[in-house]
Amino acid sequence: MRVLHVVVAGDIGGAERLLIDLATRPEQTRTTHAIALFTPNPQLRAKFRDAGLRIYDHGPSALNPLAYLWRSFGPFDVRWIANAIKAEQADLVHVHTYASHIPGVRAAKLCGVPVLRTEHGLHHYTDPSCALFRRWALRSTDMVVCVSDYVRRFVAAHDPVMIPRLRVARNGVDTHYFSPVPFPSDGPFTFGITCRLEAWKQVDLVIQAMAHLPHCHLVVTGDGSQRAGLEQLTRELGLTDRVCFLGYQADPRIAATLVHTSVSASRDEPLGLTILEAMAMGRPVVAFASGGVPEIVQPGITGWLAPPQNKNGLITAMREASRSSATARDMGKQARTFVEHSCSIETMCREYGDAYAALVPNPLSRADHEP
């Protein structure tokens, strides 16, 4: 089977990493993969190329609202995607980010192939600016794979018509690449947060919590529009000697070697790939008990959960985590076991392979495709 992924994105996040994990394991997904790419970000383009993926590259592409409207509803970019589908002889189109939904569906319809969509997040359901043809794009999709049961329940409530077309496949972690690393041998108890530095990740709450944990340190890994403001907040709170910003790291494992426990303060995190990666490396997690997080973080076993959007609860959970590095180490071992059993990349690839096969039960051989 041949799958063409339509990617319209500027950042390197969980969706892009999931795509690479799928596309570089054709033997596990029982599928060959290629990408139709629209991005202004040369780092994202390079990341796909370095992974050895076959790319149909539209070239530098703007991602502003006018560009989105033209790409979605104009004739040229949709035709360009359709030509990529034909050139790839694709059996199926797989769309990921919100900006890929409408053009991907339109191009697939032109070529008469089914569409699978991964629902990585839910912001486009609640953002009024994303409402144009949102329901049409959803109902024109043949299958929606949700990254957590929380996401599945949300989409089902949003549009019950879609219930028969929904299934869940958690993001998987390469447990060989993200293998356990020793805890820091000395120094203060250190928390780590790894994410895009955007408002909904609420890194500011973690920095504010550090003002109440005078014996702890924090390592922030990632970049984004909020970074300058977060660094300013750190200075205002007098925390520059205890809060370190590493910036974007091509190898996300680096941060885990510096910390005892990972933290997530996201608002309704759909699942949390960086949470799973930290757990795979033997780090327990402090997070809000919202979104899909309670599906992967078990209180008292693999981490600590705070009441949703409760800053005092987050401070309490972080304080409890910092009481004993030995306890954190033991919980980190259990976190690793959970990922091995429930969120491995092999499981994820098998589930996507099954989803592809359900949509295209009898893919044509290459010789049978339209030239």
* Structural domains in the chain, sorted by start: 2-172+345-364 (3.40.50.2000), 189-342 (3.40.50.2000)
10 Å Cβ neighbour count for 141?
21
Number of H helices, E strands in the chain: 16, 13
Evaluate if pTM is beyond 0.85.
yes
What is residue 106's predicted lDDT score, i.e. its pLDDT? 97
Spatial separation of the C-alpha atoms in residues 196 and 292, rounded to whole Å: 18
Q: Tens-digit pLDDT profile for the chain (371 aa)?
A: 999 999 998 887 778 888 999 999 999 999 999 999 999 999 999 999 999 999 999 999 999 999 999 999 999 999 999 999 999 999 999 999 899 999 999 999 999 999 999 999 998 999 998 998 999 999 999 999 999 999 999 999 999 999 999 999 999 999 999 999 999 988 899 999 999 899 999 999 999 999 999 999 999 999 999 999 999 999 999 999 999 999 988 888 989 999 999 999 998 899 988 999 999 999 999 999 999 999 999 999 999 999 999 999 999 999 999 999 999 999 999 999 999 999 999 999 999 999 999 999 888 654 444 43
Q: In what order do the strands lie in the sheet with 32-39?
A: 54-60, 32-39, 2-8, 92-95, 115-119, 143-146, 166-168
Contact 192, 261 (CB under 8 A): yes
